[in-house]
Amino acid sequence: MIRDLCDGQLEGAEIGSTEIIFTPEKIKGGIHTADTKTAGSVCLLMQVSMPCVLFAASPSELRLKGGTNAEMAPQIDYTAMVFKPIVEKFGFKFNCDIKMRGYYPKGGGEVIVQMSPVKQLNPINLTDRGSVTKIYGRAFVAGVLPFKVAKDMAAAAVRCIRKEIRDLYVNIQPVQEPKDQAFGNGNGIIIIAETSTGCLFAGSSLGKRGVNADKVGIEAAEMLLANLRHGGAVDEYLQDQLIIFMALACGVSRIKTGPVTLHTQTAIHFAEQLAKAKFSVKKSEDEEDASKDTYIIECQGIGMTNPYL
């Protein structure tokens, strides 16, 4: 996909290869289609292409096909409801239109992403967590699965959250995905907590054959609660997704996180190697974080500028 976005040369990109050689050319913009032909995640296609098309010569429309709600990747709901509002703090906007949802194993989903290039990215500062003001979400079923499954996931998640957070209304909507907007069968849930300073945290889970609905709801609720306990201003799944943007931005970015994931450590390693950005990861020195596993990730961005604008 990246080769096609920039008319580049790519050698060795086949299964079993241990080395690739990639030579990028001019990032063009325009309309691009990428199809995993399986339930391969459209969100991962979006992750890899977005930093490129931000520095394109003209606006881009990416037509991404595959799985929208798949294991081992963000669900499209997470990308739209958590990643998008936070990443737009770097000073760009994008539009994400879910045409069709697709699930494991067939995929068949399609998402259209539209974005305009920027001259430069702004640094971000996400260190003030604030207090939780809202908890909401959606529990969905698609295809042949009964609507009761969505209601059961939502109810179990609400019960689980109530044990720990008593004073907030938890609004999880059960949803039957319309037949014309979902390919195949699937079920899952995403729950989001919003804070007074605009931070967003999520817990999510996907149904699998033989796993009862209550268990799926509880898993998402427990993931959300774990992310609220650590005192960071981003959840464990957002931290690594912000690294590349911090590296490219102009100025110093800081984010407060819980335990730094292996994904984030890897992202930092490659951002330092490839972009020559400088990162530091230090334990938070704030008093309220003393008893918690809380860190500040700081980056001196390289101030990448778009040569075409």
Annotated ligand binding at 238? The verdict is: yes
CB 90 within 8 A of CB 126: no
Nearest residue to 227 via CA among 139, 155, 165, 172: 165
Q: What is the DSSP letter of 122?
A: P
Annotated ligand binding at 240? The verdict is: yes
Active site residue 263: yes
CB 11 within 8 A of CB 23: no
Instruction: Name the catalytic one among 32, 230, 263, 269.
Output: 263
Structure tokens at 6: 């920039």
Q: Where are the beta strands (DSSP E) in 132-259?
A: 132-142, 170-176, 182-183, 186-195, 200-206, 252-257
Q: What is the DSSP letter of 261?
A: P
Q: What is the DSSP letter of 211?
A: -
CB 22 within 8 A of CB 3: yes
| 114, HSE (Cβ side, Cα atoms, 13 Å) | 3
Annotated ligand binding at 47? The verdict is: yes
Neighbours of 288 (CB within 10 A): 10
Pairing of strands 132-142, 170-176: parallel
Annotated ligand binding at 239? The verdict is: yes
Measure the CA–CA gap between 239 and 193, rounded to whole angstroms: 16
Instruction: Give residue 220's region: left, alpha or beta (phi > 0; psi -120 to 50).
Output: alpha
Cross-strand pairs, 299: 253, 279
Q: Which helix (H) or strand (E) covers residue 99, if one does?
A: strand 94-102
Question: What residue numbers does the annotated binding site for ATP cover?
Answer: 47, 237-241
Active site residues: 263
